[in-house]
Amino acid sequence: MVTVLISGANKGIGRALAEKYLARPDTTVLATVRNPDSKEAKSLLSAPTGAGSRALLLKVESTSDTDALEAIKSAQSNSVDAIDIVIANAGVYTPRAYQPVAEVSLTHLKEHLDINTLGPVRLFQAAFPLLKKSKTPKFILISSIVGTIANLEQIPFPNGAYGGSKAGANFFAKKIHCENPDIISIAIHPGGVKTEAGNEAARAVGFDESFVEVEDSVNAIINKVDGLTRENGSGVFWGIDDTIIPW
């Protein structure tokens, strides 16, 4: 049995990842959502499943310091004693924060940092005891190419709030790799995906919509996760085209 924890699993990339993993046999998907009682979230429970697979809906608000901890307790009460893969997918992109650093609202900046940077840390800390019980624990941060610092000059957009929050999250993904020799940890850029947030970001820079189909992005992410080992791929910021993005 493989257990996968996916945050932000009610829509977009998170939803597609949850459905893909559920379709595999002998897989438990711990799907975290803000509102488990919503119609959108509950519909995940009726998604097609492989033999022996199941989904558990868990309430996690990314800004909460306690939700992820309570979610792990709930999972344990449902016979989950180890987590093999944590996919930190939940995030926020606010078009109103699409401004240069000199002008961006500190309220919007704090919101992005709280959700996009601290949210994955909260998730990792809560899941850590069960990750350590896996034979091949993996922590996967769904990041963004706008979080690269080395190539910042090549991304001349006023997205300091979003980009800065992703750069911060990238640091923690790399730090987890450095501090835990038994854990595989990466950041991965999913591409400019045709999700609600992805299309908003595309419109902000003059396009009608993003470029990458959700299914193509998710298939590439899962293929990368499947092939990761500690010696081959951990501690790297990956693109879905298998290129390495400079931190």
Helix ranges (H only) for 99-205 are 106-112, 119-131, 160-179, 196-204
pLDDT digits (tens, 9 = 90+) for 102-157: 999 999 999 999 999 999 999 999 999 999 999 999 999 999 999 999 999 998 88
Q: Which of 7, 20, 138, 166 is catalytic?
A: 166
pLDDT digits (tens, 9 = 90+) for 40-70: 999 999 999 999 999 999 999 999 999 999 9
Q: Which of 21, 93, 98, 162 is catalytic?
A: 162
- Please tell me the distance from the alpha carbon of residue 220 to that of residue 200, in angstroms, as a whole number: 22
Q: Clarify whether 162 is annotated catalytic.
A: yes
Each domain of the chain, given as residue ranges in start order, spans 2-239
Pick among 3.90.199.10, 3.10.20.10, 1.10.150.650, 3.40.50.720: CATH of 2-239:
3.40.50.720
Q: Which of 64, 81, 92 is nearest to 30 (CA)?
A: 81
Radius of gyration of the chain (CA): 17
Query: How large is the average pLDDT for residues 79-103?
Result: 94
Q: How many CB atoms lie within 10 A of CB 202?
A: 17
Q: Which of 53, 143, 165, 210 is catalytic?
A: 143
Residues 6+ apart with CB under 8 A from 175: none
- Please tell me the distance from the alpha carbon of residue 197 to that of residue 143, in angstroms, as a whole number: 13
pLDDT of residue 183: 99
Q: Clarify whether 210 is annotated catalytic.
A: no
pLDDT of residue 184: 99
Q: Clarify whether 143 is annotated catalytic.
A: yes
pLDDT of residue 94: 86
- Please tell me the distance from the alpha carbon of residue 151 to that of residue 144, in angstroms, as a whole number: 12
pLDDT digits (tens, 9 = 90+) for 66-85: 999 999 999 999 999 999 99
- Please tell me the distance from the alpha carbon of residue 100 to that of residue 92, in angstroms, as a whole number: 18
Query: How large is the average pLDDT for residues 164-187?
Result: 99
